[in-house]
Chains A and B, each alone.
Chain A
């Protein structure tokens, strides 16, 4: 368990943190996730990578935590509100720092979009693995990421950053 924890806990923590946006809760999450793994090790059938299994459990735990804290749950509207309230992306764009603007915009994507972007780009999960973790059909995975990227492009454009797409 120590080896498994040592190998995966940082990524599990970061995935959880991006979903719940609270370090304390994210730390509680990783304890819960690995305890579940300890309890359910016999149920792991090895059809998927261990990291995929861990991320699926993390996601489930994170959503449960968010449901317990309705006030921090974000939908598209809330994400847009954050975008409107904060001029950080614009300020960043004024500084001509596309990189910083991109990171700001990545942070204000909706939870659905954030998780799919993270799973593909940071956790480097395939279409099939994302479908398994999120529990949606593979085609939905592809379209969801496309629209997440389109939303990101819109946010960047609103912040004055043009990247030649779309």
Chain B
């Protein structure tokens, strides 16, 4: 009890304060190394880090459960924009220079990661397109996009199938991720930053089955974070 009180009264160390950013992968390489070293040698810190990973997962879960705004917001916005005076011609120039500035500011590591994820996304996309083409090989016929009677590719996956937000370990290889997707019959349906939204199988699962699935996923070596989402 006294020890706990003492801990509560202590000022946090620099490393302790950096733990949440280590969990989200937003520390620079130097700080990340410092935190990793400290975690490897300090069991109390490792315990605190485990608590942080829970907080991280539940904060994502809580925010994801908030839903999305209605179309009213967009209608209101674009009506307001329509009422605005015409924009100046310099706008497009500014955007071009901003884009080039944005890429110039990225660190080589960030660029490398972005390129890796880009390559992964391309591979997955190629796989999906290939699979669809193979499946739909029929006598030649014409079909316009607007008149297509088929649903979107994702429809075949089923709206009830469980989904989760997953962050892979930084050292996870594309082959490992592909193997994991195969093992879990999962598909990537969305990505934001380093987070991927995966869909598992084609059928709905019970709450207990989803919890078991998440626990299994969390136990995977290449998975840093997994949280079930609607």
Residues on A lying within 8 angstroms of B by beta carbon are 1, 5, 9-10, 13-14, 17-18, 23, 26-28, 30-31, 34-35, 38-39, 41-42, 44, 46, 98-99, 102-103, 106-107, 117-118, 120-122, 124-127, 142-143, 145-146, 149-150, 152-153, 163-166
B98 contacts across to A, CB distance below 8 A: 44, 46
With a cutoff of 8 Å between Cβ atoms, the chain A residues found around residue B80 in the complex are 31, 35
- Classify the secondary structure of A's interface with B: helix
Q: Is B40 an interface residue (CB 8 A)?
A: no
Closest residue of chain B to A16, judged by CB? Answer: B69
Instruction: Tell me whether B36 is interfacial, beta carbon within 8 Å.
Output: no
Give chain A nearest CB distance to B92 CB in angstroms: 10
Q: Does B94 contact A (CB under 8 A)?
A: yes
Partner of B81, one of A10, A38, A153: A38
Are B26 and A149 interface neighbours, CB within 8 A? no
Please name 7 pairs of A and B residues whose Cβ atoms are closer than 8 Å in the assembled complex, sorted by A. A5-B74, A31-B77, A39-B84, A42-B94, A46-B102, A121-B60, A166-B4
Instruction: Establish whether residues B193 and A1, one from each chain, have CB atoms under 8 Å apart when the complex forms.
Output: no
Q: Taking the complex as formed, is B54 at the interface, i.e. its CB lies under 8 A from any CB of chain A?
A: yes
> What 10 pairs across the A-B complex have the smallest Cβ distances?
A121-B59, A142-B17, A46-B98, A102-B58, A126-B26, A31-B77, A27-B73, A13-B69, A165-B51, A122-B63
**Most B-side CB within 10 Å, residue of A13, A120, A124:** A124
How many of chain B's residues touch chain A, expressed as a range?
Answer: 35 or more
Indicate if B184 sits at the interface (CB-CB under 8 A): no
Q: Is the CB of B68 within 8 A of A152?
A: no
Contact partner, A120, options B24, B54, B66, B69, Cβ 8 Å:
B24
A20 smallest CB distance to B (angstroms): 12
A150 & B8 in contact (Cβ 8 Å cutoff): yes
Report whether A145 and B17 are in contact in the complex, using a CB–CB cutoff of 8 Å. Answer: yes
B16, B56, B102: the one within 8 Å of A121 (CB): B56
Q: Is B120 an interface residue (CB 8 A)?
A: no
Proximity string of chain B (64-101) to chain A, C-beta cutoff 8 Å, 1 when within and 0 when not: 01101110111011101100100010110011011001
- Whether the pair A5, B77 counts as a contact (CB closer than 8 A) is yes
